[in-house]
Structure 1
Amino acid sequence: MTLSRFRDSARYWRTPLLPGADLLTAEYHDHTFTPHWHEAYTIPVIEDGAECYHYRGAQHVAEAGSVPVINPGEVHTGSRAVDEGWRYRVMYVPVDYLHTLAGEIAGRAQPLPWFDAEVIRDADLARRLSRAHQLLEADADRRRTEFALVPNASHALDAPQPDLLAVEGALLDALSTLLTRHARTREARLESTANEPRVEIMKALLAADLTEPLRVADLAQAVGLSPFHATRLFTQATGLPPHAWRTQLRLQRALGPLRAGASVAEVAAASGFTDQSHFTRHFRRMFGVPPGRWQAN
């Protein structure tokens, strides 16, 4: 029996019920995510098919019913693991939101939550995450419809209103279940090493002005190392060479202006890309859709 394959289709959207987050409903077959990172916690639930990805020095496979969480700032890839591809729902949850929730659960301040590299196989958690995501999406669709019907607001008022307590309750239930069952803390990862200040100096230099041309020699001089050793140290610490790390930062910084309505061409120039096509190519590799479509969702 030949299984029908998924198509490359992605929809990014947002909701005021999870401030600062991006959410994704997608299926992929041909698309491959190149090495990249996110500033938020990446919390997917695989609903069908299977995804393979490289993360923390190992190859992982996440099948239907699994939850392959990626910590913020950690480099990873993504592609199909089975012939038909994979379908999933993803929450990109801001660090502050999940950190605050961890403290509320414990009743006191908590270290930053962190998750092991292994795929989480917890069918009950997967169901909770999928349900919360579906409810949030339905509410977002309702809000979009009401906004479109502003000239006929009476029609919007006649539409059935969701129980927002139930939607928010499902979200808090899913994320608190994830935290209480599977989160660790990052304390061990924050132990200082002699090279960490050098890496932070290089990051700061790369991030200071994203339109400013830089050379490896500039980074090396700032930390007192040879260009070879500076590049090797940075790559070992972050998982990406300096130019690729800076490209990822440019893409992350581009999301705010796109969300605010700036044109793709304006954002490309302000983010330091050579032209709009260069920006679009890198954006699509990271987010699975071109920036114009991401902006329109």
Structure 2
Amino acid sequence: MSASDSAQAFWRDPAMPFAESRRACESRACYRPHHHPTFSIGAVDGGQSVFTGAEVGPVSLFPGTLVFVPAARVHACNPFPGKAWSYQMLHLDADWLHAVRQEYAGAESAAPEPVRVITDQEAYGRFCRLNALLFSGAERCDKEAALIEFIGDFDTEQGLCVAAPGIPSHLAGQIRPALERLRAVPSSSITLDELARLAAMSRYQMIRAFRAVTGMTPHAWQLNLRINLARARLRDGQAISAVAQHLGFADQAHFQRVFKAHVGVTPGRYR
């Protein structure tokens, strides 16, 4: 981006509701561990950053690196302490991506999809050209064609694979009622006592099981859910104050702080 461009720029098109893209220049914003309902592709343009969300520990990212993050995978990418970095981030609707993959790949693997970290200049250059096209005034059909072609060409590109942590099936089954409760009433403050009763565990056991299955504590998971819902409501044009109230934040200032910690910009800038 040129010096005259805003530090943060977003692209969305009502004709392509399955995609959203962002460009950030010289950003020092730091993100909490979070996850998206979307499949995300990130590109590091400048500076150095650290990917967290791997069992082996933090992974350093350098300019020219692409990171493919499956939906619902807890992660965070932040600049080195005291430094700034520039990046691009493309979010794709998980159902749309699944349908595209089915068209050309057919059968799907039952194994959880890993995070992939790719340091290939051709792939990075293709992604930059794709994102520039999305931000341009090109026709929708050209944008969608380029997007589908990029996915097909690089969907199996090998790089550093960060496997999803193994989740004991019995733990996933035990905390499912607690997860369903949080999803059903995202704006409500559900106590640890109630979640523990739903999981038939002590509070300590439930917290440990919840973190093992989701990568987050119950409160952090619920905040993340609220922010994902808030993004959708803001894209639909709802007022910030109404979104904050509807999703159970104490006030608009609280909503602003939590939103920026997850998204890197204020709700107003995002909207």
* Alignment deviations for residues 102-157 of structure 1 (CA, whole Å, 9 cap, x no partner): 11112x24347965345211221111111111001012xxxxxxxxxxxxxxxxxx
TM-score, normalising length: structure 2: 0.87
Match of 2:230 in 1: 254
Match of 1:208 in 2: 184
The question of whether the paired residues in 2 share the 8 Å contact of 1:41 and 1:92 is answered with: yes
Deviation at 1:70, TM superposition (A): 1.7
Runs of 4+ deviating beyond 6 Å: 188-192
SS of residue in 2 equivalent to 1:240: coil
Out of 250, 266, 270, the position equivalent to 1:290 is 266
Matched, 1:276 2:261: no
* Alignment deviations for residues 188-247 of structure 1 (CA, whole Å, 9 cap, x no partner): 989871121122211111111122221111011112111110111001111110001000
* Alignment deviations for residues 40-86 of structure 1 (CA, whole Å, 9 cap, x no partner): 11101112222212112320111111111222111112221386522
Out of 8, 13, 16, the position equivalent to 1:15 is 13
Match of 1:62 in 2: 61
Quick check: 214-223 or 41-50, which moved more? 41-50
Match of 1:193 in 2: 169
> In the alignment, residue 45 of structure 2 is paired with which amino acid?
E
Quick check: 127-136 or 42-51, which moved more? 42-51
Match of 1:173 in 2: 149
Tell me the distance in 2 between the aligned counterparts of 1:227 and 1:82.
35
Deviation at 1:13, TM superposition (A): 2.3
The question of whether the paired residues in 1 share the 8 Å contact of 2:69 and 2:116 is answered with: no
Deviation at 1:180, TM superposition (A): 3.4
SS of residue in 2 equivalent to 1:102: helix
SS of residue in 2 equivalent to 1:237: helix
Decide whether aligned partners of structure 1 residues 233 and 83 sit closer, same or farther in structure 2, where only a CA change above 3 A counts: closer
Report the structure number with the largest CA radius of gyration.
1
The question of whether the paired residues in 2 share the 8 Å contact of 1:36 and 1:286 is answered with: yes
The question of whether the paired residues in 1 share the 8 Å contact of 2:116 and 2:158 is answered with: no
The question of whether the paired residues in 1 share the 8 Å contact of 2:7 and 2:27 is answered with: no
TM-score, normalising length: structure 1: 0.80
C-alpha RMSD of matched pairs (Å): 2.6
Q: How does 1:46-57 map to 2 (within 5 A)?
A: 46-57=44-55
The question of whether the paired residues in 2 share the 8 Å contact of 1:128 and 1:173 is answered with: no
Matched, 1:88 2:87: yes
The question of whether the paired residues in 2 share the 8 Å contact of 1:13 and 1:23 is answered with: yes
Matched, 1:76 2:75: yes
Deviation at 1:286, TM superposition (A): 1.0
Deviation at 1:273, TM superposition (A): 0.8
SS of residue in 1 equivalent to 2:150: helix
> In the alignment, residue 76 of structure 2 is paired with which amino acid?
T
Deviation at 1:175, TM superposition (A): 1.4
Q: Please, which runs of 5 or more residues in structure 2 have no aligned partner? A: none
The question of whether the paired residues in 2 share the 8 Å contact of 1:129 and 1:175 is answered with: no
Tell me the distance in 2 between the aligned counterparts of 1:165 and 1:213.
44
**Equivalenced residues, count:** 263
Return the structure number with greater helix share. 1
The question of whether the paired residues in 2 share the 8 Å contact of 1:21 and 1:93 is answered with: yes
Tell me the distance in 1 between the aligned counterparts of 2:48 and 2:110.
29
Deviation at 1:30, TM superposition (A): 2.4
Match of 2:30 in 1: 32
Match of 1:152 in 2: none
Deviation at 1:39, TM superposition (A): 0.9
Q: How does 1:109-128 map to 2 (within 5 A)?
A: 109-111=107-109, 115-128=113-126
Match of 2:39 in 1: 41
Deviation at 1:262, TM superposition (A): 1.3
Tell me the distance in 1 between the aligned counterparts of 2:141 and 2:186.
42
Percent identity of equivalent pairs? 26
Quick check: 172-181 or 250-259, which moved more? 172-181
Deviation at 1:17, TM superposition (A): 5.8
Tell me the distance in 2 between the aligned counterparts of 1:272 and 1:121.
41
The question of whether the paired residues in 1 share the 8 Å contact of 2:187 and 2:226 is answered with: no
Quick check: 116-125 or 50-59, which moved more? 116-125
The question of whether the paired residues in 2 share the 8 Å contact of 1:283 and 1:290 is answered with: yes
Tell me the distance in 2 between the aligned counterparts of 1:56 and 1:8.
32
